[in-house]
Amino acid sequence: MSTDPTVDCKATNRVTYETLSWLMIGEFVLGLPLNLSVLYVFVFRFKFWKKKSIFLFNIVVADFMLVACLPAKAYQYHRGYRRSPDDALCKTMHFMLFLNRGASIAFLITLSIDRYFNVVHLGRRNFVKVLKKSPLVSIVIWLLLLTLTIPTMVNTFKCCNSLGRTNGTRFHNVTDIFREIVDFGQIIVPFVILVYCTVRIVNRLQRKTVGEKTKLRRAVFVVMSVVVVFSVCFLPSTVARAVLLSVRLNKDWKHAEDAVVQVYDSLMVLSYIDCLLDPLVYCFCNSEFKDAYISTFCPAFLRNRLLKTDFGLGTTTTTTTITTTTTYGIRDVYLPILAQ
């Protein structure tokens, strides 16, 4: 193995990484104004602390910090490096990207679990609802994520990519393995939870009558939107990472490593579009946020139409007729009541 610390950083196919750099620039150009506008609405129009939407706000912060990291990573790709050859910058970028991705996942899963308890275990004490009202819980989640992400800063790997490449000390190997366990665990475990919540909520929806389905339909859309984010953004790169590690650990497959590395890096770039998809989750989770965002940024001719549309979620105010029965002597009189 070469002793040059930049060997493992260099891109074997310069065209591929230049293309990926432009894709990241596109994600940055679209993601920055979108996340800034969402952040503005949450703070100045929606006032998340009054709406008890602290978890949603934390997702906004994580997405914004992720978007802020993209220009530096795109710059390295454009220069033909998979990672920065500068050790400190490499670790800092790795730390920020994994921390913010982990935060986004953690708070999305918490919201999905909250919907699950509200629907499947209606009437029972929902510990998630109690916890999400406290900002201290969000602080604890961030501190836990910081602890789990620290191994990305340990000086055990070349270009942030050592497992299967180097024969380090036992401490180095343990650190590398722990980092991979955290990386896979923060995707696989939440996805299993999501699938379980989705199946239970859908089963509950199928057993309800038509008049009781509005809340359940919204819950299904929430968890399904999170499942879509996972399926599009996180699962493909996780599978590619597993394949890459298998190739590195199997000496007979070394010839395929360059191709697998390019696929993995491409899917990691794809995973960054979660900062563009998460605002859809905000709308599904909270119709008040959707109305505040539309009222702030949509032109008048479009605003009125969007505010009157519930997108199949049952989020707008509608007028329905409920029949009640009043008995006078022996004759029943039916009176229509308008319910909002």
Q: Considering only CA atoms, which of 148, 131, 150 is closest in space to residue 58?
A: 131
- Cα separations (Å) of 270 from 55, 70, 94, 233, 247? 24, 12, 16, 6, 22
Q: What predicted TM-score, i.e. pTM, was given to this entire model?
A: 0.78
pLDDT at 99 over 90: no
Region 110-120 average pLDDT: 80
Q: Considering only CA atoms, which of 63, 184, 48, 56 is closest in space to residue 108?
A: 56
| DSSP secondary structure letters along 183-207 | HHHHHHHHHHHHHHHHHHHHHHHHH
Using one digit for the tens of pLDDT, what is the confidence trace for 34-50? 999 999 998 888 888 77
180 phi and psi, to 5 degrees?
A: -70, -40
Can you give the pLDDT at residue 146?
87
Which strand (E) or helix (H) includes residue 30?
helix 14-40
Confidence of residue 245 (pLDDT cuts 50, 70, 90): confident
pLDDT at 175 over 80: no
Which strand (E) or helix (H) includes residue 239?
helix 235-249
pLDDT at 225 over 80: yes
Q: Please work out, in degrees rounded to the nearest 5, the angle formed at the alpha carbon of residue 89 by the alpha carbons of 39 and 260.
A: 90
Confidence of residue 53 (pLDDT cuts 50, 70, 90): confident
* 287 lies in some domain: yes
Q: What DSSP designation does 166 have?
A: -
* 71 lies in some domain: yes
Q: Considering only CA atoms, which of 262, 312, 269 is closest in space to residue 287?
A: 312
Q: What is the CATH number of the domain that holds 43?
A: 1.20.1070.10
Our count of domains for the chain comes to 1
Which strand (E) or helix (H) includes residue 288?
helix 287-297
Q: What share of the chain is helix, strand, coil (3-state, %, to 5)?
A: 75, 5, 20
Can you give the pLDDT at residue 324?
40
CB atoms within 10 A of CB 222: 27
How far apart (Å, rounded) are the C-alpha atoms in residues 110 and 106? Answer: 6
Residue range(s) defining the domain that contains residue 293? 7-339
* 2 lies in some domain: no
Can you give the pLDDT at residue 215?
65
Can you give the pLDDT at residue 155?
55
* 1 lies in some domain: no
